[in-house]
Structure 1
């Protein structure tokens, strides 16, 4: 094969890859763009016009109406509390479990890691009825803990896997040098392991934040009062009598609630990508 022919095939392959990537990006971004455009339309224009057309007279009245129709700040605050608390436990427990499995190494470490991997395929629905019964017995229904505990439990497998995969590529001499200097396992964990794992921590937090921030099934099952409603539950309040929905206000509320996650991703995307490459792909 000539050099010219090889270069031509390489250009074609690159062009095909570029087109494929752009197509995937367009498919992923289009729903969000559509929601933003719909939130800028008047209710009459959205109901009577082409839903895929650009707004003729953009308006921000929908955002004010969305703020008035439901207690949006309370929903955002509840989601924030659940997300932060869950991520704290996920990071601490996930890192400690991975540290024990991959660094300290004990007799059944491989078997324990296998159990965590199996946990990746367990559906959350299997735990709803047992958890509801147990929560009712101990008085945990309609509390933050009722949402945080299952969210932490079902997020631990992927978190332990990512941390263990990262620890596998940390030179063991680092831990040996710290031990020779008199550092115990806890000091090594907090002074060496945690600083080295910053990118993986950011990745684990962001991946789990998407799952926790958008959780509906646990909140809908264990939350009974209006005061503890999170964002997914709160969006139900935009449904009126006879199932009627103020769609433009709903889309405006969706734009407001997804903004924190999007801003976090834009700010931390490099660390997230590095953490995935340094953890999950090497595992």
Structure 2
């Protein structure tokens, strides 16, 4: 009987707990406001891209005579064919790809090595050097156009890929050095000490330890800089003189005809072709980019 009483005492709270109705929590005002705000931001960001892709498949007469913000009355892909026929779009994409890849290689190699020397190896004025790199973030690119043009003219570097790659890499280095050096703070010093005790030198440590651990930060640096390099107009417009080296921002000027008439639907199709690679790469590597920003920019 004692056992039954104990069992009854133990089961009583359980029974009361099960019969108690659950209370539905109402969403707080702050949560509703934040949800609406995020939805508005997403709409503002996505709508221009959606409108761009929709307009690129509209007929020229439909875009000129109808409401430019309305849905297309007919879908056509002739605009994409005309985009490649009107301008040298394929060559422009190739030139932008070469400049973007060349600049990113310099940014990653020089940025990682500079951050490795400042943060890992260390020297007497390492913090001062890092501060000088950070000052470079606030330097506007416009002040270097005339001096670089004069220097390039004297060494015959005008109208070359190098004339665009060097300044693009140089102005992107300060932020890259900051991201890499901040990330290197997360790597324990015991890892480097153990490698040194095993006989590894600084170059071997850099190549076999630091570089593999920095993949996410490298992806972040490459993606962030690729957006600005891919869309660069200032340096390309200043240092490129021939049509064969025009990048995408310069090549879009080919769709402006006589008397300033613009083939808008072909221009929108060309823009869609040029931004699609960046969108696809960003969608594939966005997780690595977010992790790289969190691990490389939240400490320092």
TM-score range, shorter chain: over 0.9
Which of 227, 244, 258 is equivalent to 1:227?
A: 244
1:199 and 2:216 aligned? yes
Tell me the matched-pair count: 278
Q: 1:155 aligns with which of 172, 178, 185?
A: 172
Partners of 1:220 and 1:213 in 2: CA distance: 13
Does residue 189 of structure 1 match 2:206? Answer: yes
Q: Distance in 2 between matches of 1:25 and 1:103?
A: 40
Deviation per CA, 1:205-238: give whole Å up to 9, x if none. 0000001000000000000000100011000000
Match of residue 72, structure 1, among 89, 96, 108: 89
CA distance in 1, matches of 2:291, 2:235: 31
Question: Which TM-score applies when normalising by structure 2?
Answer: 0.91
> C-alpha distance in 1, partners of 2:64/2:218?
45
Structure 1 unaligned blocks of 5 or more: 1-6
Structure 2 match to 1:4: none
Which protein is bigger by CA-based radius of gyration?
A: 2
Which residue is equivalent to 2:141? 124
1:246 maps to: 263
Q: Match for 2:65 among 35, 44, 48?
A: 48
Q: Choose the corresponding residue for 2:234, options 217, 228, 252.
A: 217
Deviation at 1:280, TM superposition (A): 1.0
Structure 1 equivalent of residue 254 of structure 2: 237
| Cα root mean square deviation, aligned | 1.3
| Corresponding position of 1:109 | 126
Q: CA deviation at 1:32?
A: 1.2
Runs of 4+ in structure 1 off by over 6 angstroms are none
Q: CA offset at residue 72 of structure 1?
A: 0.9
| CA shift digits 1:165-208 (9 cap, x unpaired) | 10011111111110010000000000000000000000000000
Once the two structures are TM-superposed, the CA of residue 149 in structure 1 deviates from its matched residue by 0.3
Distance across 1 between alignment mates of 2:182 and 2:35: 30
Superposition map of 1:3-152 within 5 A: 8=26, 11-152=28-169
How far apart, in 2, do the equivalents of 1:167 and 1:140 lie? 36
- Looking at structure 1, the residues matched to 254 and 214 of structure 2 have their Cα atoms a distance apart, in angstroms, of 41
CA–CA distance in structure 1, aligned partners of residues 69 and 238 of structure 2: 35
